[in-house]
């Protein structure tokens, strides 16, 4: 089935963050073979060439057609200036070996000084990692300039849909005031410890779809030393009780909660069994009581916070949510 509108974005997508280039082509191929029809990529993940190879192999093997696959990517922080937005998308399309993206998102509401492709790709957060005291170099680019360039990409058909990630409600109100073409989707961190109810509600009120990244919460951050194994949502008694009653896994309960509250979710697993089980979570039906019980776990716990990691890892204090 081809996608007709932003509302057709498949509910469970496969996330490509932190998948090393050496295993990425095979992982993408296996994900598509397993049934995923929504891939969540980004320039900054540093693996778009390999993602492209995995996609092309799956298409060549007839597993699905290009029209049946939803591919999202994201504009990196160093390409916010109007003149850099089109080349950034072109580079992503070239790496992915695609003619168009289904969705292109501004990755962060953070503009950093431009770094040419030849200097470093992807440029990541440091302006110059080789100096004795590397740090981020914010650039004075209004988000409205970047958005107007995103609008052009949609008009040209290079991105079927456009949207933003990691925007707060204040930035979203502002965007709705200056846009000519409205954003169609907001991607944010959301899981039972960070339900973001007001932001999700506001996005929907403005007609945006919402995608939740890190839908399993802390699990994504253990390998980065940004969370500990023992704070997993999957260990919560309420989640375990629902899982045993519905005879499914705790992860499926948490993903089903994300889908049933009206967000799509992007999740990755390198384990074939979990890959399959995560995709099947979209079919699990939770009762209203179950949904409320899981929502009550909220503690506004954000794992992916530039106000914390930019200082810790990139030597630069740069909060965006506070
Ligand atoms: P694994 O690949 O070993 O399954 P992200 O939020 O960045 O997509 O990462 C998800 C994290 O959660 C990964 O560390 C992944 O590890 C783990 N994970 C994914 N699916 C499941 C699942 N069904 N049960 C338990 N852990 C999972």
Q: What are phi and psi of 125, to 5 degrees?
A: -95, -35
Atom 18 of ligand 1, nearest CA residue: 269
The whole-chain average pLDDT of the chain stands at 97
Look at residue 262 and tell me if it is in a domain: yes
Number of domains in the chain: 1
State the closest ligand 1 atom to the C-alpha of 250, by its place in the atom list counted from 1: 24
pLDDT at 311: 97
DSSP symbols for 58-106: HHHTTSS-GGG-EEEEEE-GGG-SHHHHHHHHHHHHHHHT-S-EEEEEE
- The per-residue pLDDT for range 189-227, each reduced to its tens digit, is 999 999 999 999 999 999 999 999 999 999 989 989 899
pLDDT at 125: 98
Regarding pTM above 0.95, the answer is: yes
Output the domain CATH number for residue 17: 3.20.20.100
Note down the domain range covering 55: 6-314
- The per-residue pLDDT for range 227-282, each reduced to its tens digit, is 988 889 999 999 999 999 999 999 999 999 999 999 999 999 999 999 999 999 99
Look at residue 34 and tell me if it is in a domain: yes
Look at residue 98 and tell me if it is in a domain: yes
Look at residue 1 and tell me if it is in a domain: no
Look at residue 321 and tell me if it is in a domain: no
Look at residue 92 and tell me if it is in a domain: yes
pLDDT at 24: 98
Q: Are 69 and 55 in contact (CB under 8 A)?
A: yes
Active-site residue list: 45
Atom 19 of ligand 1, nearest CA residue: 269
């Amino acid at each position: 089935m081809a996608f007709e509108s932003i509302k057709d974005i498949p509910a469970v997508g496969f996330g490509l963050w932190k998948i090393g280039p050496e295993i990425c082509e095979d992982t993408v191929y296996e994900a598509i073979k397993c049934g995923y029809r929504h891939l969540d990529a980004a320039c900054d993940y540093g693996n778009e060439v390999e993602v492209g190879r995995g996609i092309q192999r799956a298409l060549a093997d007839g597993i699905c057609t290009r029209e049946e696959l939803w591919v999202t990517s994201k504009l990196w922080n160093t390409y916010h200036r109007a003149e850099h937005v089109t080349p950034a998308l072109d580079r992503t399309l070239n790496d992915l070996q695609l003619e168009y993206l289904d969705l292109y998102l501004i990755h962060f509401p953070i503009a950093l000084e431009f770094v040419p492709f030849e200097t470093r790709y992807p440029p990541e957060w440091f302006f110059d990692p080789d100096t004795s005291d590397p740090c981020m170099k914010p650039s004075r680019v209004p988000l409205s300039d970047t958005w107007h360039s995103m609008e052009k990409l949609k008009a040209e058909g290079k991105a079927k849909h456009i949207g933003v990630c990691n925007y707060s409600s204040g930035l979203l109100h502002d965007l709705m005031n200056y846009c000519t073409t409205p954003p169609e989707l907001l991607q944010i961190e959301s899981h039972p410890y960070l339900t973001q109810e007001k932001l999700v509600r506001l996005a929907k009120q403005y007609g945006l779809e919402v995608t939740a990244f890190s839908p399993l919460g802390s699990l994504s951050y253990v390998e980065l030393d940004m969370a500990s194994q023992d704070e997993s949502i999957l260990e919560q008694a309420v989640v375990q009780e629902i899982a045993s009653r519905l005879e499914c896994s705790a992860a499926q309960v948490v993903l089903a909660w994300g889908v049933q509250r009206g967000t799509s979710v992007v999740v990755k697993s390198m384990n074939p069994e979990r890959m399959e089980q995560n995709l099947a979570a979209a079919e699990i039906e939770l009762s209203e009581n179950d949904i409320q019980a899981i929502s009550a776990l909220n503690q506004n716990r954000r794992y992916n916070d530039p106000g914390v990691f930019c200082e810790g890892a990139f030597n630069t204090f740069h909060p965006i949510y506070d």
